[in-house]
Amino acid sequence: MCGIVGFVNKDKNKLETIKKMGDRIKHRGPDDEDYYVDESVALAHRRLSIIDLASGRQPMENENGSLVIVFNGEVYNYKELQKELKSCGHKFKTNCDTEVILHGYEEWGKEMPTHLRGMFAFAIWDKTKKSLFCARDYFGIKPFYYYQNKGTFLFSSEIKSFLEHKDFNKVLNKELLEPYLTFSFNPCSETFFKGVYKLNLDITCT
């Protein structure tokens, strides 16, 4: 498994915060860590290396640097998609499924997740549009949580990352106790932290 985390806001000095958030999930990716930060977004990736060990480092940018992705999971049909995207004129620098998702987003936009077979959770930052597109596999195998407050949008593979951000309010979601005690599991998109949700399919933040 790997771990992804990030946030969107206008704060300065994002790097210190995103490093602390990434450290909260370092158990998910012991092999590598890296960050992307600009005036609008901060992204972190903790990597467990499986595919393309030498050149699959994240956050990964596309060829012109307009898109950057953090990705957790595995795309089983990435070789078939890579072949299809090459036939459309896309040039690849690596042989990893992460880059396939990037080029797939260039080609298909928000419909790209429908082309993927596998287990995945990812976030793509579009520097030109200043928008963040996040998606999760249809069966929800890979975790993805998000939270929004005070002009800040947070996401992560694990809620504990949010504890390092100043705009996260640690409030118990008491309304979830009844369905949890009824079913002995959480059947909702809400979580036990008020305002934190599990992503079902996809979301765009601008």
Question: What is the average pLDDT across 170-184?
Answer: 91
pTM exceeds 0.85: yes
Residue 51, C-beta contacts closer than 8 angstroms, at least 6 positions apart: 74, 95, 96, 97
96 is catalytic: no
The full DSSP string for 119-152 is: EEEEEEEETTTTEEEEEE-TT--S--EEEEETTE
- Tell me: pLDDT of 53 over 80: no
CATH at residue 24:
3.60.20.10
- Tell me: pLDDT of 52 over 60: no
User: 2, 134, 188, 205: which is the annotated catalytic residue?
Assistant: 2
Q: What is the structure's pLDDT at 32?
A: 81
Instruction: Sort strands 152-156 and 197-198 into parallel, antiparallel or unpaired.
Output: unpaired
Number of independent structural domains in the chain = 1
> How many whole angstroms separate alpha carbon 187 and alpha carbon 176?
9
The residue type found at 169 is N
Sign, CA dihedral 44-28-81-200, equals negative
- Tell me: pLDDT of 115 over 90: yes
Kindly report, residue by residue over 64-106, the tens digit of the pLDDT: 999 999 999 999 999 999 999 999 999 999 999 999 999 999 9
Alpha-carbon 121 to chain mean position: 5
- Tell me: pLDDT of 134 over 80: yes
Average pLDDT, the chain: 92
Domain that holds residue 36: 3-205
Residue 145, C-beta contacts closer than 8 angstroms, at least 6 positions apart: 155, 156, 157, 158, 159, 162, 191, 196, 197, 198, 199
Question: What is the average pLDDT across 159-182?
Answer: 94
- Tell me: pLDDT of 23 over 80: yes
Question: 45 in helix, strand or coil?
Answer: strand
Q: What is the structure's pLDDT at 54?
A: 57
> For residue 61, what are its two tokens?
């940018």
> How many whole angstroms separate alpha carbon 142 and alpha carbon 116?
14
Question: What is the average pLDDT across 155-170?
Answer: 97
